[in-house]
């Protein structure tokens, strides 16, 4: 699936990560989006976006802004 224009929102901090143009996710695959000094499949920012509060869920939106 082409995730161009899709994005994640950190609910607690309201930070937004947009997937790179042309990024494709294979069926059944899992990915990790990292921040700060963590490692993952995709890198977001040097800021500590995740794990900066007791509960910091993410929401996924498609390129039209629809929650998934």
What are the residue ranges spanned by the domains of the chain? 1-68
Region 5-12 average pLDDT:
90
Q: How many of the other CB atoms lie within 10 Å of CB of 7?
A: 16
Burial of 55 (0-12, 13-18, 19+ CB in 10 A): exposed
Question: 9-64, pLDDT tens digit by residue?
Answer: 988 878 899 999 999 999 999 998 888 888 899 988 887 776 556 677 889 999 99
Question: 26-41, pLDDT tens digit by residue?
Answer: 999 999 888 888 889 9
Burial of 32 (0-12, 13-18, 19+ CB in 10 A): exposed
Strands 33-34 and 42-43: parallel
pTM of model > 0.95: no
């Amino acid at each position: 699936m082409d995730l161009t224009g899709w994005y994640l929102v950190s609910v607690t901090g309201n930070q937004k990560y947009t997937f790179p143009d042309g990024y494709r996710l294979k069926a059944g695959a899992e990915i990790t989006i990292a921040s700060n000094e963590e490692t993952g499949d995709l890198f977001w920012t040097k800021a500590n976006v995740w794990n900066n509060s007791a509960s910091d869920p993410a929401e996924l939106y498609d390129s039209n802004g629809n929650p998934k």
